[in-house]
Amino acid sequence: MKAVLLLENGTIFKGSSFGYRGEIAGEVVFNTSMTGYQEILTDPSYYGQIVTMTYPQIGNYGVNDEDIESLKVQVSGFIVREYFDYYSNWRAKKSIRKYLEKNNVIGISEIDTRMLTRIIREKGAMKGIISTETDNISQLKEKLDAHPDMVGSDLVKFVTCDKIFKYNESKFSNKNYKYLIVVVDFGVKFNILRCLDNARFKIIVVPANILPEKILNLNPDGILLSNGPGDPAAVNYAIKNISLLLGKKPIFGICLGHQLMALALGAKTYKLKFGHHGGNHPVKNLATGKVEITTQNHGFAVDIKSLKSISNLKYKITHLNLNDNTIEGIEYPEIYAYSVQHHPEAGPGPYDSRYIFDVFNNYIEKFNEGIKI
C-alpha cells in the first residue's frame, strides 16, 4: 500500500507502507544505530516521535521475545529506506511488519532516508505526519499544524508505571543484594533494571508522580531517576518532588533523570537542534581523559551557563559530548548526587559506560559512612 510522509517544512515523501495502516503525527528524528531496531522501537524515550533509521536495510533479523526495552512499541511511526519482510535469525519469532501491525504502529519504506536525515540535520527536528489513508497535502498539513509541539509536552504520564512494584523480589532475601534502590519510572528501559540487578541491587519501581515521603517511607539506600520522553521542563511535579529528595539519599539520574535533577537544583534545559539518537556518540570522561562510545536518545540538554545559578552548591561536570560539547555528566558531591545524559546500560550499544552503575554503589557506601565524595 502507498504511504506519504509530510514534514512541517512542507517536504513530501512518497513511499510504501508496512505495519499498521492509518495516520499518525509526531516529531521526526533520526537514529544512527546500525542494529538494534527492536530495542529502539520499544524504548519509552521515543514516545511521541517518528524514528528514521539512517542504516538503509532494516528487518533482516526479524523480531524476537528478548530484545525489548518495554512491553510494547513506543514510537509513533517508523521510517526506513529498505524493509526486509524475509528475516533470518535463530531467535526471530516474527517479521517487523507483523510486529508493527500487532502494536498499531505505521511504518513507511522506499523513501530517501539520506535526504530526510539531511533535512533534519540542517533544519532541525520537526513535526511530521505519515498517512496511508490520503495523499491530500492540505488535509495532512491541517492535522500536522494541530499536533502539539515537543517543547512543553509532558509525555512521561503516558509511559510511567501505574503502581509500585518490586522488580527482582526473589533477590530481596539474597545476602549478596545489600542495597535497596527505588527507581522513579519516567519511562525506564528494561536494561537499566537489568543492569541494576546485575550490580546486585534490590529494586522497587515507583510511578513518576509519587510523593517524596512515599519514596522515603520505602527506606531505600539510593534513588534512581530514569530516562523518559518529552520536555523535562514540562514535568513540573517531578522537578518539585526531586527537589525535596536531594540530599536525603544518594541519587543517580540517567538521561531525562539527569535533566530533571539539574532543573530541580535551579539549572535550565534547552531543546537541541536535532537531538542525539544512536549507538555511536563519543563522550569524554573528564576524570580519566578516556573517550567512551555511548548510546544516546534525547532531544534536550542541560544549559552549562545556567549551572552557575545553583547558589551555594558545588558541582562538577564529569563528561562532555565530543560532537557538540554538551554536558554528558554532572556530579553534586555535597548531596551525594550524580547524573549522566547518555545511556550507560546501552541496549543496543557499547558497554563502555557500564561502570557508572558501580559508581552508584560507591556513593551509597560513602553516604552511609559519612565520607565526603
* C-alpha to C-alpha distance for 105 and 3, rounded to whole angstroms: 13
Active site residues: 255, 343, 345
The position carrying cell 554503589 is 361
CA dist list (Å): 199 to 143, 204, 302 = 47, 14, 28
Strand partners, 291: 284
Distance CA 216, CA 222 (A): 10
Cis status, amide bond into 232, omega within 30 of 0: no
Using CA atoms, how far apart are residues 122 and 118, in angstroms rounded to an integer?
6
Say whether 132 sits in a helix, a strand or coil. coil
C-alpha angle 170/354/176, rounded to 5°? 30
- Name the 3-class secondary structure at 331: strand
- Which DSSP helix (H) or strand (E) runs through 359? helix 355-369
Question: Quick one: cell of 87?
Answer: 528475516
> Residue 139 burial by CB count (10 A; 0-12/13-18/19+): exposed, middle or buried?
middle
3-class DSSP state of 104: coil
CA distances from 320 to 289, 327, 330 (A): 11, 5, 9
Q: Residue 247 forms beta bridges with which residues?
A: none
Rounded CA gap, 243 and 248, in Å?
10
Distance CA 182, CA 203 (A): 6
Range 263-268, long-range pairs (CB < 8 A, 24+ positions): 263/232, 263/233, 263/239, 264/239, 264/240, 265/310, 265/313, 265/315, 265/332, 266/306, 266/309, 266/310, 266/311, 267/302, 267/303, 267/306, 267/307, 267/309, 267/310, 268/233, 268/302, 268/303, 268/306, 268/309
